[in-house]
Amino acid sequence: MGIYLNPDSSKFEEAVNSDIYIDKTGLLIYTNSVLHTMQKYICISRPRRFGKSIAANMLTAYYSRGCDTEQLFSQFEISKDMDFKKYLNQYDTISVNMQEILSRSHNVCELISRFGRLIIRDLKNEYPDVDYFDDTDVIECMQDVYAQKKQPFIIIIDEWDCIFREYKENKEAQEKYLDFLRDLLKDKAYVHLAYMTGILPIKKYGTHSALNMFDEFSMIDPGPLARYVGFTENEVKKLCEQYQMDMAEIKNWYDGYSFENGISIYSPRSVVNCMRFGKIGNYWNQTETFEALRIYIDVISMIAGNAVPVNTGSFANDMSTFHTEDDVLTLLIHLGYVSYDYDNKTVKIPNEEVRTEYVNSISASTWGEVSKALKESADTLEAIWQKRPKQVAEAVRQAHFETSHIQYNDENALSYTISLALYAARNFYVIYRELAGGKGFADLVFLPRKKFPEKPAIVVELKWDKTAEGAIAQIKNKEYCRSLEEYEGNILLVGVNYNKQTKEHECVIEEYVK
């Protein structure tokens, strides 16, 4: 047993022994299926705190010859697979967190040298009788071990992309690092599995990628590994039952990363903290700040609920090369700040937790009237509760000024403006757009959260070049409030109209009589 070669299972045991551990050992069924095949190269890219390191530690504990983990894994999904024992603790496993090595190195050359010396030390301790051709060259040493002992390697590299985050502008260092990984991994008989994790997909440079042999599973296309990205909806439902938490609230706050086949993924760290502390809140672990990127992107329309088209194909897979807004949005996908709709090729803010990160950053910054509109949204909500329509109309006008870059020519665009003006309502309400009720769909419905039963429900109808009174009449005539039949509290009706000719907003507020 070594430090990096054939380590023990202690890191994975810590995860299993924690208050909450979700069984993701099904991932091992996939990795077992690609061992010693052309598909043995796997690169996983996920945002921070999405379980990358736990998965890497799980693979280490399963494959490493430095431990006996049959009893540890016998309680999990992998134990039911026919190949469970076939590969269990059968491989020379090299497991490295590259960020840890980089933190003790002054440059990429020193990183590569330190990596080699650490692995060679463990190899010599494990195989002192091997005839090493060049005991200063890690690749030569691994080839010698494989040739003389017939022991293949599984190589697990966590935080593989640290160079591209720490040396964002140093193209020479990046290329040197990629060439090193290529020489270590590509076309080497001693490699039966190479598993790398990071935030970024594999870096492209020139006309080719030095690591083009890898299958990549990312937030854009997780492929068959989608259910191992984070917590699935069923897994979160079970936790809600166990910890007596409201699933609807949890979904609103932490869901939003959706993939093909209807798989919906929740942020693991946030869900775990929410359950442990019994409190819904913002547990987002801020990665790279989007503050420096905001000049490229339409943050306001996304905060208001808009989905933005994106072309992910031009992204250079680094954190400094931004030719277009698409490149920035693609990076934000990988960082977890936006979620990607594979079918529609659009991005949006995934959930309420991440949305608060945007709002907090904007509110504390110098984004002019945008910051002001967000800060004053609580006053606008209070104005609705107090039935002060002129104040509401003025707040909507100000929010319209800030969203004027959005194509403002229909009721849909007006709804984004209302969402910005009433952003503070998210603290008290679950908000529905186009909610079916009666003989049609209400534009916006604000239903109080369970812990705010004293707040009135709000039904909003939007009009364009008509009248606010007509909006109220439509709510009544089409019986939109029938969608709230089970709701026992008060209901306010809000009609908003925008006159394109006069460029004025008007508002009418009435209390609904059941």
CA-based angle 211:42:284, to the nearest 5? 105
pLDDT of residue 327: 84
pLDDT for 459-512, tens place per residue? 999 888 899 999 999 999 998 988 888 888 899 999 999 888 888 899 999 998
Q: What are phi and psi of 263, to 5 degrees?
A: -75, 125
Q: Is the pLDDT of residue 412 over 70?
A: no
Average pLDDT of span 419-437: 82
pLDDT of residue 363: 63
Q: What are phi and psi of 252, to 5 degrees?
A: -65, -35
Q: Which long-range contacts (CB under 8 A, 24 or more apart) does 324-330 make?
A: 324/296, 325/296, 325/297, 325/298, 327/296, 328/293, 328/296, 328/297, 329/297, 330/220
pLDDT of residue 330: 86
- Give yes or no for a contact between 130 and 148, defined as CB atoms under 8 angstroms apart: yes
Q: Shortest CA distance to 240 belongs to which of 285, 272, 283, 282? A: 272
Query: Which residues are bridge partners to 132 per DSSP?
Result: none
d(CA 463, CA 405): 20
Which range (29-38, 279-288, 442-451, 479-488) has the least confidence?
279-288
- Model confidence at 430, in pLDDT bands (50, 70, 90)? confident
Q: Is the pLDDT of residue 294 over 60?
A: no
pLDDT of residue 318: 72
d(CA 493, CA 495): 7
CA distances (Å), 475 to each of 12, 74, 437, 448, 483, in order?
A: 56, 58, 10, 19, 11
Q: Cα 385 from chain centroid?
A: 35
Question: What's the longest Cα–Cα distance across the chain?
Answer: 90
pLDDT of residue 443: 86
Who's near 393: CB < 8 A, 6+ residues apart? 496, 504, 505, 506, 507
Which range (120-124, 322-326, 340-344, 474-478) has the least confidence?
322-326
Compute the CA torsion angle 500, 503, 504, 507 (nearest 10 deg).
40
pLDDT of residue 408: 53
- Give yes or no for a contact between 200 and 145, defined as CB atoms under 8 angstroms apart: no
Q: Is the pLDDT of residue 1 over 90?
A: no
d(CA 30, CA 114): 32
Helix (H) or strand (E) holding 86: helix 84-87
d(CA 89, CA 148): 20
Which DSSP letter does residue 412 get? H
What integer best gives the mean pLDDT of the chain? 87
pLDDT of residue 204: 66
Percent of the chain surpassing pLDDT 70: 89
Q: Is the pLDDT of residue 114 over 90?
A: yes
**Pairing between strand 257-258 and 264-266?**
antiparallel
d(CA 16, CA 9): 11
Q: What is the DSSP string of 21-55?
A: ----THHHHHHHHHTTSTT-EEEEE--TTSSHHHH
For the record, the structure tokens of 375 come out as 């800060």
pLDDT for 140-194, tens place per residue? 999 999 999 999 999 999 999 999 888 888 888 988 999 999 999 999 999 999 9
Q: Is the pLDDT of residue 334 over 90?
A: no
For the record, the structure tokens of 181 come out as 């990984």
- Give yes or no for a contact between 42 and 214, defined as CB atoms under 8 angstroms apart: yes
Q: Is the pLDDT of residue 262 over 60?
A: yes
Percent of the chain surpassing pLDDT 90: 54
pLDDT of residue 207: 45
Name residue 200's amino acid. Answer: L
**Pairing between strand 41-45 and 191-198?**
parallel
Q: What is the DSSP string of 352-402?
A: HHHHHHHHHHHHTTT-THHHHHHHTHHHHHHHHHTT-HHHHHHHHHHHHHH
pLDDT for 347-393, tens place per residue? 888 888 888 777 776 665 555 555 666 677 888 999 999 999 999 99
Q: Annotate 187-220 with b (16+ C-beta within 10 A) or e (fewer).
A: ebebbbbbbbbbbbbbbbeeeebbbebbebbbbb
Give the residue carrying structure tokens 């043995």.
Answer: 40
d(CA 410, CA 423): 20
